[in-house]
Homo-oligomer: A and B are copies of this chain.
Amino acid sequence: MKVREFLQERDWEKFHNSKDLAEGICVEAAELLQLFQWMSPDEVHRFQNDPAKVKQLKEELADVFIYCLSMANAMNIDLASSVMRKLESNRKKYPAELYRGKARL
């Protein structure tokens, strides 16, 4: 995994305890959210069509993602299979035939 390689080259894995990584995910998630603060739905719509803004969004989303991957790396979690398992349990919790167009994730 490229994230692991990046961390190992810098000998940064030793800093990566799960509590501080969880804080990092929170901090980066808030920076992502900040991009949208005070925006009306119309402004959000325009934002989504503005390449400069989408570029910023991509970077902030990548930051959250990299911390998630670092957490998975630190904890030896196979994130892909956790996601599959969670989707499977959501599938049972929200059957498509009952929730189609009605509910929200």
Contact with B along A66-87 (1 / 0, CB 8 A): 1111111001010100111111
Copies of the polypeptide in the assembly: 4
Report the bound CA distance from A36 to B74 in whole Å: 15
A78 to chain B minimum Cβ distance, whole angstroms, is 9
Q: State which size class the interface on A falls in.
A: 35 or more
Is A100 a contact partner of B40 (Cβ separation < 8 A)? no
Interface centre among A23, A36, A67, A105 (most CB of B within 10 A): A105
Is B87 a contact partner of A2 (Cβ separation < 8 A)? yes
Is A25 a contact partner of B64 (Cβ separation < 8 A)? yes
Is B57 a contact partner of A61 (Cβ separation < 8 A)? no
A101 to chain B minimum Cβ distance, whole angstroms, is 4
